Amino acid sequence: MPMAFDLLYYDLEGDYVEQIIAFTIWKERISPLFDSSMALLILCVNEGREISRDYVTLETATPASRAAELSELSIEVLICGAISQPFAGAIESKGIHIIPFIAGHMETIIDSFLKGTLLHLEHQMPGCGRKRRMRFRGGRI
């Protein structure tokens, strides 16, 4: 059974559609914080395969202007590390789907996204989505 984000690849008839996916990058890794990230890798994907890629430097810094910039680039899905609520709200208001709290080497993340395994725990930022362990004091809860 496909994971929720796998459905982004398909139209209502079940056919693949071309999509433009953006990844925030920093030193060949997913940037840990979208709000301060200035570089994007933009991937054009069709039928679950990479068609092209381009690197873009973001020119704006406020939530509204950054959202407008992503919209002008025709981004449909944004894959990033942490993202603040003001940025997330502005971007989602433009109809862009966000997959946040992702961490790892860029090529590994791209490969996982194309295979539909991006949401596995090994790609999540530490402390995000993992079960918290309870700490004990003196052996007691």
Domains of the chain: 4-123 (3.30.420.130)
The pair of three-digit structure tokens given for residue 98, joined into one six-digit string: 């966000």
- Which amino acid is it at 113? F
Q: What is the pTM assigned to this prediction?
A: 0.79
Q: What is the pLDDT of residues 107-128, one digit of tens each?
A: 999 999 888 888 765 666 555 5
How long is the chain? 141
Distance, CA of 75 to CA of 34 (rounded, Å): 15
Tokens of 100: 């946040």
CA distance 56 to 42: 7
Summarised one tens digit per residue, pLDDT across range 1-20 is 233 344 355 555 656 668 99
User: Which residues of the chain carry a pLDDT beneath 70?
Assistant: 1-17, 120-141
Q: What is the dihedral of CA 107, 108, 113, 115, to 10 degrees?
A: 110
